[in-house]
Structure 1
């Protein structure tokens, strides 16, 4: 089977709103090679992030404070925003909120961090708001 290009994976993810484990591995490789830019956003709580996070996470925006932090996402609405949580349930809910707010380039890791086979970090420093 022919490998998909970064753009093809990106477009499929936006169309389906879902990112598989394999897709995320490919997207992170594309990002490392500067072939694609996106925000990887963990919407779990801080204690969950500290326990385990996906290497390459750009932002931590816990669902419990989304009403206070959604402006950060709105400032980056033109970018592809990829959300993840533990199992994909919370991100499904947040995707609905973002769609209603007009976000078009969004998707979520459908099986969450528990279904992710790539590099995970334990006790990672909290991602800082930087020039994203």
Structure 2
């Protein structure tokens, strides 16, 4: 399963498997939802660690990068577009362990919380 965390993009089936592996203590990563608060409240992937809206990226990006530079981080959003943009910016600044959830929550078939 660790090889999945070496990718730039993962799909929903892989994310669902990774969340189960994390519950069992086999992998460690941070799952960050970059949608807006209203979207998050309508439903989010069970296991999201942080909500960091893209609209306030400038306010949280630098501190987040400093605090998580050595961690594996998976970004998710509605379709994978915003999370991909966030991931790309961090990768441009040398944070190589940032992963995009391609397809986003609309393609996710695992457990959703409201």
Give the distance between the partners of 2:41 and 2:77, measured in 1 at CA. 13
* Mapping for residues 1-132 of structure 1, pairs under 5 Å: 6-11=1-6, 13=7, 17-70=8-61, 71-122=63-114
SS at match of 2:110: coil
User: Could you say which structure has the higher helix fraction?
Assistant: 2
The alignment's TM-score, normalised by the length of structure 2, stands at 0.94
Give the distance between the partners of 1:74 and 1:114, measured in 2 at CA. 30
Residues 76-130 of structure 1 deviation map (CA, whole Å, 9 limit, x = unaligned): 11110000000011112112211111111011110000000000011xxxxxxxx
Query: In 1, are the aligned partners of 2:65 and 2:90 still within 8 Å (CA)?
Result: no
How many residues align? The count is: 113
Give the distance between the partners of 2:76 and 2:37, measured in 1 at CA. 13
Structure 1 stretches of 4+ moved >3 Å:
none
**Larger CA Rg, structure 1 vs 2:** 1
Give unmatched runs, 5+ long, in structure 2.
none
RMSD over aligned Cα atoms: 1.0
Give the distance between the partners of 1:66 and 1:91, measured in 2 at CA. 11
